[in-house]
Amino acid sequence: MSRKRPTVADLRAMKGKRQLTMLRVLTLEEAEAAERAGVDIDSVPPELVLNPQYRDAAPSLFTMPGDNFFEIGTADDFVRWSFRLYKAGADAVYCSAGYATIKRMADDAIPVIGHVGLIPSRATWTGGFKAVGKTADTAMQVFEAVKQLEAAGAIGAEIEVVPVEVAKAISERTSLIMLSMGAGTGCDAQYLFAEDILGTNRGHMPRHSKVYRNFAAEYDRLQQERIAAFSEYVADVNSGAYPEDRHVVHMDPEELTLFMKKVDAKS
């Protein structure tokens, strides 16, 4: 049975009623897998949603392309960027730029998702890659940031690595759709990266990540199979085992005789 792609109004109506699921996916294959698995929301690189095949792979995923603010530019750049993505089939856009930029897009009816807590592209302001909001004062700063996003016209916010108690209290006091990355179940959606779930991430594994498969080991096995296959090919060429007669075409003997007479005459 096919699913209906949710609208912003649908997501707002679901707030507080059930936990939504969200993934960061990077490829059409991952998007299709998320669709077939019943994931609700996906975050994607902008180029993926611009791929004409994307909506065939993920017709019902609420899709949110995004990039770091410094990759896009000014508020006007963000508006042009978001219009192009919205036209291509995006349902909302992620923006970690300032409130004025978010308001600029929201004023033009672009659904915008902001970011609070640990914001990787701005982590220097909160002390680096660590939890944010562990004191009453810093927790209030997260709350105030959410209220600023509300005032700017955002529809939601990723809330990253914030204490679960703080995230729950904030989610209960905002109309924004709160997307939890390591901030507990008091928010509206749980957000993980596909690379962590699939075990392709060979670097640091965040506390909030959970590995369900070991694709890295499978990729390593496939790489060894590639090397073995290529080595066998090299050995076959060196030994004369490749090509075999079945890999080539032959000329009709009469035509070959005629060709050889002609080519010899030109030699």
Report how far residue 57's alpha carbon sits from residue 59's, in angstroms, rounded to the nearest whole number. 6
Neighbours of 184 (CB within 10 A): 17
Q: What is the DSSP letter of 143?
A: H
Residue type, position 180, single letter:
S
| Catalytic residue flag (residue 160) | yes
The answer to whether the beta carbons of residues 63 and 44 sit under 8 Å apart is yes
- What is the chain's Cα-based Rg? 27
Report how far residue 215's alpha carbon sits from residue 189's, in angstroms, rounded to the nearest whole number. 25
What is 74-112 written as a DSSP string? SHHHHHHHHHHHHHHT-S-EE--S-HHHHHHHHHTT--E
Neighbours of 47 (CB within 10 A): 12
Q: Which is the catalytic residue, given 30, 32, 158, 160?
A: 160
Q: What stretch of H or E contains 261?
A: helix 253-266
Residue found under tokens 């996906």:
42
Catalytic residue positions?
Answer: 160
